[in-house]
Structure 1
Amino acid sequence: MAASPSAKDENLSNKELKYGLALAFTAAFLFSTKPIIIKWLYSLGMSAIPLMGLRMLIALPIYLVIGIYLWRKMETKPDGLTLLRAAAVGLLGYYMASLLDLSGLEYVSAQLERLMLYAYPSMVVILGAIFFGAKVGRSVIPALVLTYAGLGVMYGHDLEIAPPGTSDADITKGTLLILGSALSFSLFILFSKRGIAELGSLFFTCISMGSATLATLIHYGIAEGATLPAMDATRWVGTLVLAILVTVVPSFMVSGAIKRIGPAKASVSGTIGPVLTTIMAIIFLGEPFGWAAVLGMSLVMLGVSRLK
C-alpha cells in the first residue's frame, strides 16, 4: 500500500531534521576547536588582526570559486538589494563577531570564550522577540537566569586562574568583547534566515563571507599596512587549519542547518561545544579546571537547554 502524501511529507521532514542536526553538531565540533587553535597561535607570537586577516584571505578563493559556480547555474539572478542585504548580514556574523571574538581571546581563557559564545541562543530568543515578535514562553526567564549566573561563575573562575601579567581589567575587557561577539552572531543568525531563503544556503554564505573578508582586509590594511606578519611553517599550518577546517567548512554547515531546521534549533544544537573546548583546553593548553568551572558550565548548559 502506497504511503499517503502526509506520511511522505513527515518522512521527508524527519530526514531534513536529522540532516540539519548532523550539520549543526558537526559545525559545533569544528567551531569548538577554534579557541584552542587561536590561543595556540597567540602563544607562538601571533595577534588578533594579522591572524584574522590571513584567515579570511586564505578562505576567500574558496568562497569565490563556489560563488561564481553557483551564480552561473542560477536561472534567475538575484537583484542588487538582495545581494546587498546578504553582504550586510555577513558583516555582522563573519566580520564583527570574529573581530570581537579574536580580540577577546587575547585576554580570557578558551573555556570562558566558548561558554560565552555557547550562550548566544539566549540572545537569539530575546532579539527574536524584539525584532520578529517571536513568542517567548514562561520558561525563558529562569533559563536566562541560569545561563547568565553560569557565565558569572565562569567570569570569576577566569579572574582566579588569570596568568601573571593579566589584570582583572583585562579579563573584564575580554569578557565584554566576547559578549559583543555573541550579540553580533545572534543578530546574524536571526537576519540570515531571509537571505538563506532568497539565495540558498551556499550562495548566501559565499556573499556574506565575501563581504566580511573585504571588510577584514580593509581593516588589516589600515591597522597593519600592506605587509604580511612574520610567519614560519608552524604558523602557516595552524592558520590554514583555522581558515579551512574551522572557518570555511562549518560556515557552510551552519547555513545549511539554518535552512533545514531553522535558527532556534541550529543555535541550541551546539551542546557539545563547551565540553569539547574545555577538554581540549585542559589537555592542549594546560588551562586550570576546577569546581567553579564545572558549576559555571553546568548552569550555562542547563539554562540554554531550557530555552524554547
Structure 2
Amino acid sequence: MMAASLTSAERNLRVGLAVAFTAAFLFSTKPIIIKWLYSLGMSALPLMGLRMLVAFPVYLIIGFYLWNRMESKPSGTNLLRASAVGLLGYYLASLLDLSGLEYVSAQLERLMLYAYPSMVIIIGAMFFGAKVSRSVIPALLLTYAGLGVMYGHDLQIAPPGTSNADITKGTLLIIGSALSFSLFILFSKRGIAELGSLFFTCVSMASATLATLVHYVIAEGLSLPDMDATRWSGTLLLALLATVAPSFMVSEAIKRIGPAKASVSGTIGPVMTTIMAILFLGEPFGWAAVAGMTLVMIGVSRLK
C-alpha cells in the first residue's frame, strides 16, 4: 500500500515537473515574439489587447464546456476570487511586462521574471506562514547580484536612442510584473483547489481579458491598430503558443507539485530566451550576461 502510494506520488511529481518545464519553455518564446512585433511597429497596449482578444474565445469555449460538466457549480464568491487573482497574474503582470519590454532586452526581461520564485518565497514566509531554510539569504544575494550584473549589461548594450533612464524604467516595470505574478502564484493555489486548474485558468484569463479590453478602449478607442499578415501571424503565435497553452500548464503544474516547485522548475526559461534572443533578435551576449545569468540561476535553484 505504501509502495503504491509512493509510486503514485512520484508519477504525479514527474508529470507536474514535465508540464512546468514545457510551460517555462513556451513562456520563454514570449519576449522574443513581442520584441519582434515591436520591431514591426506595434506597441504594448494594442499588442496586449489583440493577444487577449485572440486568446479569449479559447478560454470561453473550454470554460463553458467545463461549467456544463460540473455537478456542483462554484459559488459566486469563488468565481469572484478567481477573477480578482486573474487580474494580478494575467492583466497587471502582462501590462507591466509588455511595457517594460519596450525598454530592455529580452534577456534581461526573462531573467527578471525568472527571479520571481524569490518573491514567492519571501511573501509566502511573511504573509502565508510558509517555512524557509537558512539557505534563502545567500540564495537571494546570489539572485539579486546576478540581476544587478544583467542590468549593467543592458546599460552597456542599449541601442541608440535608449537612455539609462529608459533601461531603469523598463527594469522597474519588469520587477513590478514579477511581483504581481508572484502574488498570483500564491493566491492561485486556493482558487485552483476550489475550481480545478482548467476552470480556474478560464475564469482568471476571462477577467484579465475584459480588464485589458476596457483599458484598451479607454486609451485607444474602438479602432484596431494597423495590421498586416505578418503582424497577425506574430499575434496569433503570442496568443496561442506563448499564452493559452502555458497558462493551462502552469495551473496544472501548481495543482500537481505546488507553487514553489512549479516556480523553480522554470530553469530553462532564461537559457532558451537568451539563445533565441541571440539567434533571432541579434542581441549582444558577453561575459557579463553569462555571469549574471549564472548567478541568478544558481540563486533561484537554491531557494527552498
User: Could you say which TM-score interval applies, normalised by the shorter chain?
Assistant: over 0.9
In structure 2, the partner of 1:88 is 84
Residue 205 of structure 2 corresponds to residue 244 of structure 1 = no
- Name the counterpart of 1:68: 64
| Partner AA of 1:187 in structure 2 | L
Show the counterpart of 1:287: 283
Whole-angstrom CA distance in 1 between matches of 2:243 and 2:279: 23
What's the counterpart of residue 115 of structure 2?
Answer: 119
Counterpart of 1:110 in structure 2 is 106
Mapped to 2, the partners of 1:73 and 1:203 lie a distance apart of 11
Q: Select the residue among 12, 16, 20 that pairs with 1:20.
A: 16
Q: Which amino acid aligns with 1:231?
A: M
Distance in structure 1 (CA, Å) of the matches to 2:29 and 2:241: 9
Note the residue ranges of structure 1 that are not aligned, 5 or more in a row: none
2:33 partner SS: helix
Deviation per CA, 1:132-164: give whole Å up to 9, x if none. Answer: 111111000000000000000000000000000
Superposed CA deviations along residues 95-117 of structure 1, whole A, max 9, x for unmatched, are: 00000000000000000000000
Q: Do residues 77 (structure 1) and 76 (structure 2) align?
A: no
Aligned to 2:211, which of 210, 215, 218? 215
User: In the aligned structure 1, how far is the partner of 2:148 from the partner of 2:41?
Assistant: 30
- Which residue in 2 is equivalent to 1:278? 274
* Separation in structure 2 between the aligned mates of residue 270 and residue 123 of structure 1, nearest angstrom: 14
- Divergent runs of 4+, >6 A: none
Residue 148 (structure 2) pairs with residue 155 (structure 1): no
Report the 3-state secondary structure (helix = DSSP H, G, I; strand = E; otherwise coil) of the residue aligned with 1:227. coil
The equivalent of 2:124 in structure 1 is 128
Q: CA deviation at 1:6?
A: 1.5
Q: In structure 2, what is the Cα distance between the partners aligned to 1:61 and 1:237?
A: 17
Out of 238, 262, 265, the position equivalent to 2:261 is: 265
* TM-score, reference length from structure 2: 1.00
Post-superposition offset of 1:9: 1.1
Counterpart residue identity of residue 99, structure 1: L
Deviations 1:242-282 (A, max 9, x none): 00010000000000000000000000001000011001000
Aligned-residue offset at 1:7: 1.3
SS in 2 for 1:69: helix
Q: 1:8 Cα deviation (Å)?
A: 1.3
SS at match of 2:23: helix
**1:141-190 CA distances to partner (integer Å, 9 max, x unpaired)?**
00000000000000000000000000000000000000000000000000
Give SS of 1:269's match: helix
Residue in 2 that maps onto 1:182? 178
Residues in 2 aligned to 1:8 and 1:274: alpha-carbon distance in whole angstroms? 37
Aligned to 1:204: 200
Instruction: Determine the C-alpha separation between the residues in 2 that align with 1:277 and 1:49.
Output: 22
Following the alignment from structure 1 to structure 2, what is the Cα–Cα distance between the partners of residues 9 and 65?
Answer: 35
Could you tell me which residue of structure 1 aligns to residue 33 of structure 2?
A: 37
DSSP 3-state at the match of 1:231: coil
Residue 266 of structure 2 aligns to a residue whose secondary structure is coil
% of aligned pairs identical? 82
AA matched with 1:30: L
Residue 180 of structure 2 is aligned to residue 194 of structure 1: no
**Partner of residue 144, structure 1:** 140
Q: Distance in 2 between matches of 1:89 and 1:6?
A: 37
Structure 2: unaligned runs, 5 residues or longer: none
**In 1, distance between residues paired with 2:14 and 2:301?**
18
CA offsets, 1:221-251, max 9 Å, x none? 0111000000000000000000001000000
| Alignment match of 1:173 (pick from 169, 175, 182) | 169
State the alpha-carbon separation in 2 of the partners of residues 69 and 56 from structure 1.
Answer: 20
When the two chains are superposed, the root-mean-square deviation of aligned CA atoms in Å is 0.4
C-alpha deviation, 1:121, in angstroms: 0.3
What CA distance in whole angstroms lies between the structure 1 residues aligned with 2:167 and 2:181? 21
CA drift of 1:130 comes to 1.2
After TM superposition, the score normalised by the length of structure 1 is 0.98
CA distance in 2, matches of 1:195, 1:107: 34
Please report how far the alpha carbon of residue 131 of structure 1 lies from its aligned counterpart in structure 2 after TM superposition: 1.5
